[in-house]
Amino acid sequence: MLMNDFYTVVDKTEENVAIVDKDKPGKKIIFSVKLNPGHPVYKGHFPGNPVVPGVCQVQMIKELSSLVLNKEIILSYSDNIKFLSMIRPSETEILTLSLDIREKENECWSVNAVISRENQVFLKFKGVMIPEQNHV
């Protein structure tokens, strides 16, 4: 878990989104997260030029989705992950992480996410999360 060590949540707003299926409404949640530029991961990624590893960005999406759903989940698969810019923790201490979560079926959730800062987009993500206990 990276929350409260690699990053901390400093703000959260939530709103309902257009209902695609009347029994399965969606949620849009916007988090402001503060990176810890002194985290040990940056010593290896990369020495002298620290950037947030892509796997850490995806883990942040998973952890914040889990927080919203109030259950432990895992990434089942991803349709699309686009890393558009590097996140340098020394230049970008606060990030905006936007989640659009919609229940699919059988406790599966479609998650679309964007990590950005102001007008700069760092990552676009589209995937499906499932409860951790369903994973075999």
pLDDT of residue 25: 65
pLDDT at 24 over 90: no
Give the whole-angstrom CA distance, residue 91 versus residue 1. 23
Q: List, in order, residues 6 or more apart from 95 with CB less than 8 Å away.
A: 7, 32, 33, 35, 87, 115, 116, 117, 122
Q: pLDDT for 53-88, tens place per residue?
A: 999 999 999 999 999 999 999 999 999 999 999 999
pLDDT at 130 over 80: yes
pLDDT at 136 over 60: no
CATH class of segment(s) 7-28+36-134: alpha beta
pTM for the structure as a whole: 0.91
Q: List, in order, residues 6 or more apart from 56 with CB less than 8 Å away.
A: 2, 6, 41
Q: What is the mean pLDDT of the chain?
A: 91
Q: pLDDT for 30-57, tens place per residue?
A: 999 999 999 999 999 888 899 999 999 9
Per-residue HEC secondary structure of 24-82 comes to EEEEEEEEEEEECCCCCHHHHCCCCCCCCCHHHHHHHHHHHHHHHHCCCEEEEEEEEEE
